[in-house]
Amino acid sequence: MTILLLSIPSTHAASLPQSSVLDSGKIQHAKGQIERAKSVLEEYKQQRGEKQAPNGDTNPHHSKEALVQLCGVSRSFHAQHVLRDISLSVGTGETLALIGESGCGKSVTLKLMMALLEPTRGEVCWSGRSVRELSEKDRSKERLRFGYLFQGAALFDSMSVFENVAFALRQNTKKKEGEIRQIVNERLKEVGLTDAVCHRKPAELSGGMKKRVGLARALVLKPEVIFYDEPTTGLDPIMSDVINELILETRSRQRVTSVVVTHDMRTVKKVADRVIMLYPLSRLSSAEPQIVFEGTSDEAFSSSDPRVSQFVSGQAGERMRELTAN
Amino acid sequence: MATGTISQRRLSPFHAIGAVVLTAVQSVGDLSVFALQMLGCMLGSLPRRSVLLPNMYRIGVLSIPVVVITGGFIGMVLAVQTYDQFRQMGIETRLGAVINASLVKELGPVLAATMLAGRVGSSMAAELGTMRVTEQIDALRALGANPIQYLVVPRFLSCFLLIPLLTVVADSFGIICGWLFSWQILGINSFHYWFHALNYVMAYDVLTGFFKSVFFGAAIAVIACHRGFHCGAGAEGVGKAATESFVLSFVVILVIDFFLGMILNPLYFILWPSPISLV
C-alpha cells in the first residue's frame, strides 16, 4: 500500500480538473497521505541506519559511520592481482567472518583494514574518515583502537611472554610498572594462562599458548575492534574450540567488534554474525565481483551458489580434476 | 576467464639492460628514502636506554674478540709480505713505517669494517628479515610502535658510534702484533722499528682511518637494516637478505674508501702545504 501511494506523484493529483470524480477535498487528503507516507519511510530508514551512499548503495552494512570500511579497494603485489574492487564495512558490535580459499586475499583484506598495507586503488575509512588523510603519526595513534591476532601470533622472539604482553602499555602509556604487571596478569588470566608462563620465551610455548599470548597482547589496550587472522590454523580441534570460546568471551566481556579471517567453518558457525566470502581472482572473469557471498552463517550453509556450497562443505569436486589435469 | 597475473612479453637485450638499470636506480632510491626516514626518526627522539644498550653490547662488546684477531693478523701478514722486499733493498728497519701507515690509514678500517659487515651486518639483516617474514614488524606497527624508530635507529647508532672504536681496537692490535712479529720472529731492531714508525705515521693518518670508519659503520647499518626490512618470503628470503647485506656493504665500503681517499689525501697538502719526504 505504501509503495502504491509513493508511485502517485503529488503533482498528478493537482492537475486533475474540478469536474473530475475526485473532488478537491479528497485530492488534498491524498496529497497529505503521500507526504505522511514519505516522512514515515524516511523515519524508518533512519532507524535502520540506511544512509544513502554517494553511489546509491543502500546496503545497511555499507554505512559511512561503520567502524571500518573498504570502498572499491584493490591490491596488487607487483604483477599479481590479489584484490579487485572490494567494498565492505564492519558495523559496531558485530562479528564478521571473512572466508575463502587459500590465496583469495583474506589476510590481505585484514591488513588493509588495519592500514598495515596500502591499497593500490580505493579507500580505507576508519569511522568515516579516510586513512589517507591521516599522517603516519595519527595513523599509529588511531591504530591503537584496533587489536590484531596474527596467524602465527607474531610474538617478539627476543622478549618474554610478560614483555610481549606489556609492550603496548610501555610503548603507549605512562603507567607504572606495578600497574602494568597487574594489567598483564589480568589479560593472561582472561586467556587461561597463569603468571608461571611470564618468564618463558615464545620458542618455549606450544602453538595454542602462543595464540593465547597473542590474544592477550592484542587485548591489552582494550581495543574497539579485534582482527583475527586464521586464529585456529595449526591447532588441534580442542584448542581450536578453546580459541573460538575465547573469541566469544572477549566479545561479550569487552563488547568489541571482531573481524575473523578463517577457513574453519566450525569457527564461522560458532562466532560469526555475518559472513563474507571472497573468491580467487584467477578463477573469476573481469565482470564477476570478488565477493561471491554476503549474509549470515546459516545462509552460507544453505547457499545454492555452487562456489559457496563447495567451500562450506569442503568438497574438492571439480577442483581435484582441474589440478590433476594440470 | 581473467588471470591474476599480467602477461609478460619477451624482452630484447636493450629492454633487459634498461630493466637492470631501472632496478638499480630504484634500489638506490629505496635505500636513500629508508636512510632519510631513519634519520628523521633519530632526530625526532633517541631510543631508550633499555633498547639501545643491548644493541651496543651485541654489536660492540661481542665483536671485540673477532676484531682483535682480525687486527692482529693484518699486522703480522703485512710484516710477512713486506719483509723480503725491504730486506732486498736493505731497508728492513723501515718496516714499522709501512706496517703502521698501511694499518691505520687503510687496512685496519677497511678490513675491520668488512669483518663487521659479515658479523654484525649479516646478523642484523637476518634478524630483521626473520621478523619481517614472521610478521613481527607488522605486530610492532599494530601495537603503536614505529618499526624504524624501534629497530633501525638503535642499530644505526650502535654501528655509527662503535665501529670506529672497534677500528681503533683493530689498529692497536695490528700495530702490537706487527711489532712483536717483526721484533721476535723477523729480528728487526725494536728501536729502529718504532723510530721510523713515529717519523712516517702522522696523526692525520690515524684521523683519516677513524673518519673513514664512521662512514663504514653508517653504511653497514643502513644497508643491513634495509635488506632485512625488505627481504623476500621464507627462509630463502632471509638467507638472501643476509648475503646481499654483506656483499652490498663490502662493495659500498670499497667505494666510500676510494672516494674518501681521493678527498682526504689532497686535503692534507691543502691544510699543511709543506711537502713530506716519502723515503
Extract the residue ranges of chain A whose pLDDT is less than 70: 1-23, 38-65, 319, 322-323, 326
Q: What digits encode the pLDDT tens for the residues B114-159?
A: 999 999 999 999 999 999 999 999 999 999 999 999 999 999 999 9
What amino acid is encoded at A179 in this protein?
E
DSSP class of B5: B
Does B237 have pLDDT greater than 50? yes
pLDDT of res. A119: 94
pLDDT of res. A2: 41
pLDDT of res. A56: 44
What amino acid is encoded at B162 in this protein?
L
Q: Give CA–CA dist A116/A118, Å, rounded.
A: 7
pLDDT of res. A136: 87
Place of cell 590433476: A324
pLDDT of res. A130: 92
- Out of A152, A171, A280, the one facing B143 most closely (by C-beta) is A171
Q: How high is the ipTM of this complex?
A: 0.80
Residue A318 has φ and ψ, to the nearest 5°, of -60, -30
Question: Strand, coil or helix: what is A61?
Answer: coil
Residues of chain B with pLDDT > 70: what percent? 94
What amino acid is encoded at A307 in this protein?
R
CB contact under 8 Å between A140 and B5, yes or no, is no
Record the cell numbers describing residue A229, joined without a space: 587472522
Q: Which helix (H) or strand (E) holds A68?
A: strand A68-77
pLDDT of res. B5: 46
Record the cell numbers describing residue A186, joined without a space: 589480568
- Out of A136, A146, A281, the one facing B4 most closely (by C-beta) is A281
Q: What digits encode the pLDDT tens for the residues B27-81?
A: 999 999 999 999 999 998 889 898 999 999 999 999 999 999 999 999 999 999 9
- Out of A111, A140, A280, the one facing B144 most closely (by C-beta) is A140
CB contact under 8 Å between B136 and A286, yes or no, is no
pLDDT of res. A52: 42
CATH for A92-118+131-325? 3.40.50.300
CB contact under 8 Å between B2 and A217, yes or no, is no
Which residues of A fall within a CB distance of 8 Å from B2? Answer: 281-282, 284-286
B4 contacts chain A (CB < 8 A): yes
Question: Strand, coil or helix: what is B4?
Answer: coil
Domain spans in chain B, listed from the N-terminal domain onward: 58-271
Question: Min CA distance, A29 vs chain B (Å)?
Answer: 57
Q: Where residue B215 falls among pLDDT bands split at 50, 70, 90?
A: very high
Contact A128, A136 (CB under 8 A): no
Question: Min CA distance, B218 vs chain A (Å)?
Answer: 24
Contact A202, A210 (CB under 8 A): yes
Domain spans in chain A, listed from the N-terminal domain onward: 2-48, 92-118+131-325
Question: Strand, coil or helix: what is A201?
Answer: coil
Indicate the pTM of the whole model.
Answer: 0.81
Residue in A closest to B7 by C-alpha: A79
Which residues does residue A70 pair with via DSSP β-bridges, in sequence order?
A: A88, A124
Contact B34, B219 (CB under 8 A): no
Record the cell numbers describing residue B42, joined without a space: 633519530
- Out of A79, A140, A151, the one facing B5 most closely (by C-beta) is A79
CB contact under 8 Å between B139 and A280, yes or no, is no
What is the Cβ-side half-sphere exposure of residue A26, based on CA atoms within 13 angstroms?
A: 8
A322 contacts chain B (CB < 8 A): no
* DSSP-assigned letters across all residues of B214-240: HHHHHHHHHHHHHHHHT--SHHHHHHH
- Out of A80, A136, A154, the one facing B135 most closely (by C-beta) is A154
CB contact under 8 Å between A151 and B3, yes or no, is no
Which residues of A fall within a CB distance of 8 Å from B4? Answer: 80-82, 280-282
B139 contacts chain A (CB < 8 A): yes
What amino acid is encoded at B138 in this protein?
D
Q: Give CA–CA dist B225/B151, Å, rounded.
A: 8
B22 contacts chain A (CB < 8 A): no
Which residues does residue A99 pair with via DSSP β-bridges, in sequence order?
A: A277
Contact B5, A79 (CB under 8 A): yes
Does B276 have pLDDT greater than 80? no
pLDDT of res. A307: 86
- Out of B2, B6, B144, the one facing A168 most closely (by C-beta) is B144
